[in-house]
Amino acid sequence: MPRDENGSVAEAAAPLPKWAHPNITATGETRAQVPLVNSAGRGATTLWFNTGTLCNIACSNCYIESTPRNDRLVYLTRAEVAEQLDQIAERNWPTREIGITGGEPFMNPEILGILEETLRRGYETLVLTNAMRPMMRPRVMAGLLALRDKYRDQLVLRVSLDHYTQRRHDEERGAGAFKRAWEGIAWLHGNLFALSIAGRMRWDEDDKKARDGYRRLFRRKGVGIDWKNPKRLILFPEMDEAKDPPEISTGCWDILGKSPQQIMCASSRMVVKRKGAEKPVYLACTLIAYDTAFELGSTAAEAERPVPLNHPSCATFCVLGGASCS
Ligand code: SF4
Ligand code: SF4
């Protein structure tokens, strides 16, 4: 039994609980980290802006728990976005793409100015939207048409259409959601916007069956979206949070045959502004929005630091995906 210098029995150090220490796992191993380094260099190739968590609807499986009342992440302003774009340019980040997410981005009163700001600097800009009422207001439609005329395919809209049947889509998003989304999709398609569709695979269908369902829907609706192209029809597999996933130590990379560069936080960051906060902050990724331990600071320089994989989502969604490295 260990004794201290006075000969008393020393108290054994209490074991760490899982996910408690940024650098050490519960079993005492060195926790894995992901540096912001990728094949394009140091810095994010994709920078996301969460323009606010408010949404016009409340989907049953929204990963960020958006609703018409959830304003935990408040609206970003054009000036706040511009300031961060200045910073990443000063630091020579190899950023090619700006992603705009929410909530529903078209709820943000400054969304058109934010898009102008990212597009005029030459970034490909991807907006994730439900294409419903917030996008279909006359002021927003007019602004989008002007941006399309000026920037063409540099602006891409990705519309969520969870399933190719009205029943399944409305099951997730509420009665009438499918019809409203189609009004938006038809308008975007008819006005020649660069457009993609995001579906979910949570109904025991394989990729082939789901694509075939969308193919039939697109034909019925008369829209020529390339259902075979995974960049035009993106089908997200459903991944439930595992109950008690293992922690990720540095030894896992070799065991799994993976490298830190393959993980999303090696090439992206997300800027958010919390309710009541003075400034926006950088988060490690889009998947962990509310855990303040994943804040990296309010400047691009601070956001360059490596991310310790200290969250169950890191194991479930990014590193293990059902595998084990124990
Ligand atoms: S439309 Fe998107 S952001 Fe809004 S509740 Fe549904 S999944 Fe969440
Ligand atoms: S969930 Fe963890 S591992 Fe995955 S991108 Fe986010 S911080 Fe990185």
CATH of the domain at 174: 3.20.20.70
Are the C-beta atoms of residues 101 and 49 closer than 8 Å to each other?
A: yes
Confidence at residue 1, expressed as pLDDT on a 0 to 100 scale: 38
Domain holding 214, by residue range, is 35-247+257-308
Ligand nearest to the CA of 266: 2
85 in a structural domain: yes
Judge contact between 145 and 191, C-beta under 8 A: yes
Which residue, 76, 24, 78, 28, is CA-closest to 54? 76
- Please state whether the peptide bond connecting residue 28 to the residue before it is cis, i.e. omega within 30 degrees of 0: no
Structure tokens at 296: 């990296």
Is residue 9 situated within a structural domain? no
Ligand 2 proximity of 307 Cβ (cutoff 6 Å)? yes
For ligand 1, atom 3, which residue shows the shortest CA distance? 103
Q: Is 270 in the pocket of ligand 2 (CB under 6 A)?
A: no
Q: How many domains is the chain partitioned into structurally?
A: 1
Structural domain includes residue 19: no
pLDDT in the model for residue 163: 96
Residue nearest (by alpha carbon) to ligand 2 atom 3? 314
Residues 2 and 8: beta-carbon distance below 8 Å: no
Residue 44's contacts (CB-CB under 8 Å, 6 or more residues apart) are 36, 88, 93, 94, 95, 267, 268, 269, 303
pLDDT of residue 202: 81
Is the Cβ atom of 239 under 6 angstroms away from ligand 2?
Answer: no
Please give the pLDDT value at position 203.
85
- Output b/e per residue, 85-106; b: 16+ Cβ within 10 A: bebbeeeebebebbbbbbbbbb
Query: Is 157's C-beta closer than 6 angstroms to any atom of ligand 2?
Result: no
Sheet strands (E) in the chain: 33-34, 37-38, 41-42, 46-50, 97-101, 124-129, 155-160, 194-201, 233-237, 268-272, 281-283, 295-297, 307-308
Note the ligand closest to the C-alpha atom of 59.
1
Q: What is the pLDDT along the chain (326 residues), one digit of tens a residue?
A: 344 445 454 445 567 899 999 999 999 999 999 999 999 999 999 999 999 999 999 999 898 999 999 999 999 999 999 999 999 999 999 999 999 999 999 999 999 999 999 999 999 999 999 999 999 999 999 999 999 999 999 999 999 999 999 999 999 999 999 999 999 999 999 999 999 999 998 888 999 999 999 999 999 999 999 999 999 999 998 777 767 889 999 999 999 999 999 999 999 999 999 999 999 999 999 999 999 999 999 999 999 999 999 999 999 889 987 566 65
Stated pTM of the model: 0.92
Residues whose beta carbon lies within 6 Å of some atom of ligand 1? 55, 57-59, 62, 66, 102-104, 130, 160
For ligand 2, is residue 273 a contact (CB within 6 Å)? Answer: no
Assess if residue 21 is contained within a domain: no
Length in residues, the chain: 326
Task: For ligand 2, say whether the CB of 132 is within 6 Å of any of its atoms.
Answer: no
Protein residue with its CA nearest to atom 1 in ligand 2:
314
Cα–chain-centroid distance for residue 154?
A: 20
Q: Would you state the pLDDT for residue 4?
A: 43
Strands (E), 39-178: 41-42, 46-50, 97-101, 124-129, 155-160
Residue 17 lies in a domain: no
Distance from residue 91's CA to the centre of ligand 2 (Å):
23
Q: How far is the CA of 60 from the centre of ligand 1 (A)?
A: 9
- Locate all alpha helices (DSSP H) within 164-265, ordered by sequence: 166-173, 177-190, 207-221, 252-256
Identify the pLDDT of residue 320.
83
Domain membership of residue 148 (yes or no) is yes
Q: Which ligand is the nearest neighbour of the Cα of 200?
A: 1
Task: Give the separation between CA 53 and CA 68, rounded to whole angstroms.
Answer: 9
Look at residue 208 and tell me if it is in a domain.
Answer: yes
Say how many Å lie between the CA of residue 287 and the centre of ligand 2: 7
30 in a structural domain:
no
